[in-house]
Amino acid sequence: VPDRVAKVLVDVALDREFDYHVPAHLAERVAPGVQVAVPFGRRETRGFVVGLAERSERSELKPIRAVVGKGPVISEKLLELARWMSVYYAAPVEQALRAVLPGVVRHRQGRFKERLFVTLRGAEAPAAGPAADAVAPGPCDRPAPDPTPALRLLDPLRLRAPRQADVLERVIATGGAYVHQLARAGPGAEAAVRALEKKGVVTVRKETETRDPLARHTILKTEPLPLMPQQQDALRLIAQAIDTRHPSVVLLHGVTGSGKTEVYLQAMDHVLRQGKGAIVLVPEIALTPQTLERFQGRFAGQVAVLHSGLSEGERHDEWHRLLDGRARIAVGARSAVFAPVCPLGLIVVDEEQEHTYKQDEAPRYNARDMAVMRGRLEDCAVVLGSATPALESFWNARTGKYALAAMPHRVDHRRMPAVRVVDMRVEAERTGRVSVFSRELLDAIRARLDRAEQVMLFLNRRGYATSLLCPKCGHVATCDQCCLPYTYHRQNPRLSCHLCGGLRPVPDRCPGCQDPAFKFAGVGTQRAEEAIAKLFPKAAVRRMDADTTATKDAHWHILREFRTGKIDILVGTQMIAKGLDFPNVTLIGVLHADLGMHMPDFRAGERTFQLLTQVAGRAGRGEIPGEVFVQTFTPFHPAVQAARRLDYEGFFEQEVEFRRQLQYPPFSHLVCLELRSRVEARAQFVAAALSERLRKELAPQAAVAAAAPAPLPKVKGWYRFQIMIRTRAMQAVAARLKVALQAARLPADVPYSVDVDALAIL
Ligand code: ADP
Ligand code: ZN
């Protein structure tokens, strides 16, 4: 056997591979994807073998010390995907690898922890070892010990040893818990457990932890439903894609309630029958027990769940269940796109337009796009599902890059709600001021409350009151070059376009109607809540936004109260817009549709349309038809008009024309480069110099804009500047950008970030 060389990517950030010698006794076990321990400098570090070679350019290679774990933890395809990601998103390779492989898998490979498990004395231990294939039994299936002695101890303990009382209460309530889980609730848990053990109330034993996050729910098995014709057509198209040798991407465009999930389930069944597995991505906010149950209920023990709410241990176990093939279906948020399902037959991305699929730290990948790329690398089918697909995705379907399946009808044949547009300029004219609620909306609220129906009021105010809007005529100060609202900077007042970097003085009267009251008059959710409570003193009004849901379960608590009818009017931000299903909500008011529209972001129109469509989907889910009022200063805006008619394609046609004229995505790719400094002048100087430099280095493939202050120019004491880059050849430009940024050697006190295919450019 000739001496071999392994290319190893070490865990420390150096963005390059190192050659190591493979000693003869390890030759059989060293393969791509295997984790190894290698000498590095004077230390030893971990790394991944990313390739093998016969010889190396360098002499005197150091040997690999050891192979960690049983075999590869990452397939060659996933390694390839990580490499592609690092190039495309201009991020270091090991950073990409870190995104692909959860930390807990990288660091504790092959270790299934023995954990200390506490039960009340006399209780049986839970079944150890890998989760059984059947629907997992809940803790209540175990014979429960008599809790009376423990309960009797609780009260005296509470005075003398409150920690012990807390622990004991948890153990009684859950029927048993791992010590490390108890420890998460506060310090001193371990000592408390030991003390309780000494008292003879609890028993502690070592167990191989089976951390099945779904084990605590009892889930009913469901059978496939007979499909409606539109679902049959969609499934047929997807099955075709699965069965070809080089599968394509299918865009499933189906209105809310059209039965998309049932189609996903049956498509997954199709790949399982071929001995392959599937990945389902859902937005983080949709990862509720109800969503998971739909998959778990159909496929029982085959489902592994991956999301940020899992403990490290759970994540480790779920990952390994997939790697060993004990589970064949991964359901999760963003990062589940890298789940080790093998062989992989299908990736489903539900609500594919969601911005939460974009990772907000480096590498800033979009899980939807990574799904498409992974599908291409692994020859597996990809289904993108949505009621309001991203413009880019629908464009790809239009141009034949994706196949399109349309499901325009609701399964239950319920009518879509009527959407009414209220012109707030008329209201301002009539009352002489800018009001929060129009007379039409107030009348409608009164009528609904009289009939004991529920109302949702929606105000998307996230604090970016940064554009200038005339309340009389609806005029918005806009950059001629980019058709984007100017950002209004309050300190030394000026307008700036953050896409092209153009600056303008603030006009003292409206260019449209010459009114001097030309400024933003904003209202937040809190003021709206107060105002509506005063107008309807007998109604129970609650607010749901980032402020009222800061504590862990507040979100669910408010929704439960709303569901059970304890709340009449719910006021909220986009938090209440998505995925919620309340049959008794018959009226929805959008208080200020313009708010999102006039953000300095060319996707503002698209986002407004999606939001309005989603909000409208919340009304009339039950027997009574719903009604939606959209209050706006720009009633003829295409996004508002299309939302009124619930006309996706109409919106698409207009919007795509706008994008084409200005060469916005999908006609180009947009990179947002951001630089920060504690000192404004320094950030500005470095950004300006970098912009100059990049303009030369990336020409002629990319257009590099002048550096400009970000729409939120100062965040937590950091001054932010942006450089926008547009190109049609993203892959080539990304590679050059990465090199150029390294060569530029930016000062350490001016950190920067690169966002390729940026979605949020605030
Ligand atoms: P979507 O994911 O498109 O919003 P869902 O899959 O949630 O729609 O379907 C909406 C409702 O219709 C669900 O309660 C689902 O169980 C039901 N449903 C879906 N397909 C069928 C069908 N073929 N027959 C009867 N009910 C169905
Ligand atoms: Zn501009």
The tens digit of pLDDT for each residue in 268-315 reads: 999 999 999 999 999 887 777 778 889 999 998 899 998 877 777 788
Residue 617 Cβ < 6 Å to ligand 1:
no
Q: Is pLDDT of 2 > 70?
A: no
Per the omega criterion (within 30 degrees of 0), is the bond before 700 cis? Answer: yes
Backbone φ and ψ for 372, nearest 5 degrees, come out as -65, -40
**Residue 82: what pLDDT?**
92
- Split at pLDDT 50, 70, 90, the class of 213 is low
CA of 476 to the centre of ligand 1 (A): 42
Pocket test for ligand 1, best of 386, 409, 411 (most atoms within 8 A of CB): 411
Residue 93 amino acid letter: V
Residue 258 Cβ < 6 Å to ligand 1:
yes
Mean pLDDT taken over the chain:
83
Q: Is pLDDT of 112 > 70?
A: no
- What is the C-alpha to C-alpha distance for residues 715 and 750, in angstroms, rounded to an integer? 14
- The one-character DSSP state at 368 is H
Ligand 1 atom nearest residue 226's Cα = 23
- The ligand with the least distance to the CA atom of 411 is 1
- What is the C-alpha to C-alpha distance for residues 194 and 302, in angstroms, rounded to an integer? 37
387 neighbors 255 (Cβ within 8 angstroms): yes
Ligand 1 atom nearest residue 350's Cα = 2
Q: Is pLDDT of 329 > 90?
A: yes
Stretch 471-479: mean pLDDT: 78
**Residue 320: what pLDDT?**
86
- What is the C-alpha to C-alpha distance for residues 752 and 90, in angstroms, rounded to an integer? 12
Pocket test for ligand 1, best of 261, 351, 613, 618 (most atoms within 8 A of CB): 261
Q: How far lies 109's CA from each of 29, 70, 75, 99, 313, in Å?
A: 15, 9, 15, 16, 11
47 neighbors 34 (Cβ within 8 angstroms): no
Handedness of CA 492, 495, 501, 502 (dihedral sign): negative
Residue with CA closest to ligand 1 atom 20: 259
Residue-wise pLDDT for 641-672, tens only, equals 998 888 999 999 999 999 999 889 999 999 99
Stretch 567-593: mean pLDDT: 81
- Split at pLDDT 50, 70, 90, the class of 142 is very low
Residues 6+ apart with CB under 8 A from 248: 241, 381, 382, 402, 403
- What is the C-alpha to C-alpha distance for residues 687 and 399, in angstroms, rounded to an integer? 38
- Split at pLDDT 50, 70, 90, the class of 495 is confident
Residue 411 Cβ < 6 Å to ligand 1:
yes
Residue 727 Cβ < 6 Å to ligand 1:
no
- What is the C-alpha to C-alpha distance for residues 508 and 669, in angstroms, rounded to an integer? 36
**Rounded (5°) CA angle 16-22-23:** 150
Residue with CA closest to ligand 1 atom 26: 411
Residue with CA closest to ligand 1 atom 5: 259
CA of 350 to the centre of ligand 1 (A): 14
% residues pLDDT > 70 (the chain): 86
Of the ranges 140-144, 483-487, 506-510, 705-709, which one carries the lowest mean pLDDT score?
Answer: 140-144
578 neighbors 284 (Cβ within 8 angstroms): no
Ligand 1 atom nearest residue 262's Cα = 6
**Rounded (5°) CA angle 752-755-760:** 110
- The ligand with the least distance to the CA atom of 705 is 2
- The ligand with the least distance to the CA atom of 414 is 1
Distance of CA 702 to the CA centre of its chain: 29
- The ligand with the least distance to the CA atom of 478 is 2
- Split at pLDDT 50, 70, 90, the class of 501 is confident
Q: Is pLDDT of 423 > 80?
A: yes
Stretch 453-468: mean pLDDT: 71
**Residue 698: what pLDDT?**
95
Highest-pLDDT range among 209-213, 317-321, 521-525: 317-321
Residues 6+ apart with CB under 8 A from 620: 414, 415, 416, 417, 585, 586, 626, 627
Residue 257 Cβ < 6 Å to ligand 1:
yes
Residue 596 Cβ < 6 Å to ligand 1:
no
Residue 231 Cβ < 6 Å to ligand 1:
yes
Would strands 249-254 and 503-504 be described as parallel, antiparallel, or unpaired? unpaired
Highest-pLDDT range among 90-99, 340-349, 707-716: 340-349
CA of 688 to the centre of ligand 2 (A): 17
- Split at pLDDT 50, 70, 90, the class of 208 is low
Residue 386 Cβ < 6 Å to ligand 1:
no
Helix axes 162-174, 148-160, angle to 10 degrees: 150
**Residue 93: what pLDDT?**
80
**Residue 110: what pLDDT?**
43
**Which tops the pLDDT comparison, 348 or 50?**
348
**Which tops the pLDDT comparison, 687 or 518?**
687
Q: What share of the chain is helix, strand, coil (3-state, %, to 5)?
A: 35, 20, 40
Residue 33 Cβ < 6 Å to ligand 1:
no
Residue with CA closest to ligand 1 atom 21: 259
Q: Is pLDDT of 143 > 50?
A: no
Stretch 210-231: mean pLDDT: 75
Q: Which two tokens stand for residue 289?
A: 């027990």
Nearest to 37 by CA among 109, 86, 130: 109
CA of 404 to the centre of ligand 1 (A): 20
Residue 535 Cβ < 6 Å to ligand 1:
no
CA of 229 to the centre of ligand 1 (A): 13
CA of 239 to the centre of ligand 2 (A): 46
**Residue 489: what pLDDT?**
66
